[in-house]
Structure 1
Amino acid sequence: MLALTDAQIGGWVGSFMLPLFRIAAVLMTMPVIGTQLVPVRVRMYFAVAFTLVLVPVLPAMPEVDALNLRSSLLVAEQVLIGVALGFSLQLFFHAFVVAGQIISTQMGLGFASMVDPTNGISVPVLGQFYLMLVTLLFLLMNGHLVVFEVLAESFVTIPVGEGLLTDHYWLLAGKLGWVLGAGLLLALPAITALLVVNIAFGVMTRAAPQLNIFSIGFPLTLVVGLFIVWIGMADLLSQFQLLLREALDLLRELARIR
């Protein structure tokens, strides 16, 4: 009969379960994989598989007791660390969504909305277009592999049981305004061009009051806005690379990776 001590069971549980909670928290909150398009069961299977591959090369984990308060605190710590790492990537993706929503509002396309399958809410079509485009670029440039590399290195730079990095989480909270700033920066050329168009319509209205500006201005603003979006696609890749570099730098800073 196989006899197992409490220390052996605690060591096995700690060496597998504690990394699993951090990895699962990242996969549940990060873009692409952590969306509603991927079932929760598939994400859990992927987290278990990733943990099984990673556990043999991880540093030694603390022994835990399943019914101990310390084990519950360690689990909560790993979940918070994983959520912070995944949420930092969500900031990057939502910067483009905010840019699409701002441009849609300025060009009068805000009424054209569709259901976002990743979040289950209704968003402007242009914002959804930017989100799909950024997702494809993120996967094409192997951004998900960089995230997995940072996640694996985080167990060395942030060992289990070290405690919550409250200063880094305040840094993440301060980056919330970065989403709005990046979205405005992306939408600034379109906003400026559409502002010039609206000023021209205002001058036309003053010069020819009998002109029905609503029947002419609305479709023309839509056409000009779509043309500006098409022209802006030429510079989208460089802006994507710049913002992705900032997002990955924030991810590495949260994980204490230099």
Structure 2
Amino acid sequence: MFELSSEQIGGWVGGFILPFFRIAGLLMTMPIIGTQLVPMRVRIYLSLAFTLVIYPNLPAAQPLDAINVGAVFLIAKEILIGVMLGFVLQLFFHAFVIAGQILATQMGFGFASMVDPTNGVSVAVIGQFYTMMVTLLFLAMNGHLVTFEIMAESFVTMPVGTGLTTNHFWNIATSLGWVLAAGLLLVLPAITALLVVNIAFGVMTRAAPQLNIFSIGFPLTLVMGFVIIWISLSDFLSHYQAMVTDCLQLLRELVQAK
């Protein structure tokens, strides 16, 4: 009769279940896959498939007593590592949402908003446009494959059961400021151009007070805003490449990968 010892069961649990929770933590929180557009059951199946693919190449794990209370803390650590990586990717995508929101406010187009189907919140139309562009670029340039590669390398650099240090949380905290700065740099030329347009309207109002600045300035600001967005799209790819390089490098630093 085929029998399994507790050591064998513990080895399977430690070598498969814990990596599964780390991968599931990433897929549940990362953009595109971790959104409301992908059902929870599909994300679980993807996590299971990814774990099965990398399981033969994982380092040997120590046997784990699945009934022990310490196993719960180990599972929480693995989930936290995956959520940490997914959170950094979310910050990268939200940098473009912030940029679109700032630009829409400056050009007087902030009233035009729509419900983001991925997050279920109301965002500016321009921010949603930038989100769609960065999503297509991220998939076209295999950013999701690079993320999965970093996740696979994390099991070598941060073996199962490794805890997080204060450096990991410090890097995430500093990345919050990086997101705001990246969003501002992305739309800074457009904001400057719109500021010049508003100054020109102010000079026109002083020179000809009989002009109704609200009836003339508002539509012209919208038109100039769209023209500026169209011109600024020529540098969108270069900004994206610089930002995604910094984001993926931050992911590698968090898991101590090369």
Letter in 1 for 2:65: D
Say which SS state the counterpart of residue 242 (structure 1) adopts: helix
Letter in 1 for 2:153: E
Alignment of 1:64-213 (within 5 A): 64-213=64-213
So what's the TM-score if we normalise by structure 2? 0.98
Report the Cα distance in structure 2 between the residues aligned to 1:237 and 1:171, rounded to whole angstroms: 26
1:35 CA displacement? 0.9
Aligned to 2:238: 238
1:17 CA displacement? 0.4
Does 1:11 find its partner at 2:11? Answer: yes
Report the Cα distance in structure 2 between the residues aligned to 1:2 and 1:165, rounded to whole angstroms: 43
Report the Cα distance in structure 2 between the residues aligned to 1:62 and 1:49, rounded to whole angstroms: 22
1:96 CA displacement? 0.8
Verify the 8 A CA contact 1:37 1:118 in the aligned structure 2.
Answer: yes
1:8 CA displacement? 1.4
1:174 CA displacement? 1.4
Verify the 8 A CA contact 1:10 1:63 in the aligned structure 2.
Answer: yes
Letter in 2 for 1:20: F
Say which SS state the counterpart of residue 188 (structure 1) adopts: helix
Structure 1 gap ranges (5+): none
Verify the 8 A CA contact 1:64 1:70 in the aligned structure 2.
Answer: no
Say which SS state the counterpart of residue 130 (structure 1) adopts: helix
Aligned length: 258
Report the Cα distance in structure 2 between the residues aligned to 1:97 and 1:115, rounded to whole angstroms: 13
Q: Deviations over 1:128-182 (max 9, x none)?
A: 0000000000000000110010000000000112222321221111110111100
Report the Cα distance in structure 1 between the residues aligned to 2:198 and 2:29, rounded to whole angstroms: 40
Verify the 8 A CA contact 1:15 1:61 in the aligned structure 2.
Answer: yes
1:13 CA displacement? 1.4
Say which SS state the counterpart of residue 175 (structure 1) adopts: helix
1:111 CA displacement? 0.2
Structure 2 gap ranges (5+): none
Letter in 1 for 2:62: P
Verify the 8 A CA contact 1:62 1:161 in the aligned structure 2.
Answer: no
1:60 CA displacement? 1.1
Report the Cα distance in structure 1 between the residues aligned to 2:162 and 2:53, rounded to whole angstroms: 23
**Runs of 4+, deviation exceeding 4 Å:** none
Alignment of 1:245-256 (within 5 A): 245-256=245-256
Report the Cα distance in structure 1 between the residues aligned to 2:128 and 2:176, rounded to whole angstroms: 20
Report the Cα distance in structure 1 between the residues aligned to 2:94 and 2:22, rounded to whole angstroms: 23
Say which SS state the counterpart of residue 99 (structure 1) adopts: helix
Letter in 2 for 1:39: P
Report the Cα distance in structure 2 between the residues aligned to 1:62 and 1:70, rounded to whole angstroms: 13
Alignment of 1:15-94 (within 5 A): 15-94=15-94
1:67 CA displacement? 2.0
Aligned to 1:227: 227
Report the Cα distance in structure 1 between the residues aligned to 2:162 and 2:128, rounded to whole angstroms: 40
Report the Cα distance in structure 1 between the residues aligned to 2:161 and 2:119, rounded to whole angstroms: 33
Say which SS state the counterpart of residue 240 (structure 1) adopts: helix
So what's the TM-score if we normalise by structure 1? 0.98
Report the Cα distance in structure 2 between the residues aligned to 1:47 and 1:166, rounded to whole angstroms: 27
Say which SS state the counterpart of residue 167 (structure 1) adopts: helix
Report the Cα distance in structure 1 between the residues aligned to 2:216 and 2:61, rounded to whole angstroms: 68
Q: Deviations over 1:208-232 (max 9, x none)?
A: 1111100000000000000000000
Letter in 1 for 2:252: R
Say which SS state the counterpart of residue 123 (structure 1) adopts: strand
Report the Cα distance in structure 1 between the residues aligned to 2:48 and 2:55, rounded to whole angstroms: 10
Aligned to 1:2: 2
Report the Cα distance in structure 1 between the residues aligned to 2:7 and 2:212, rounded to whole angstroms: 82
Percent of aligned pairs with the same residue?
Answer: 69
1:41 CA displacement? 0.7
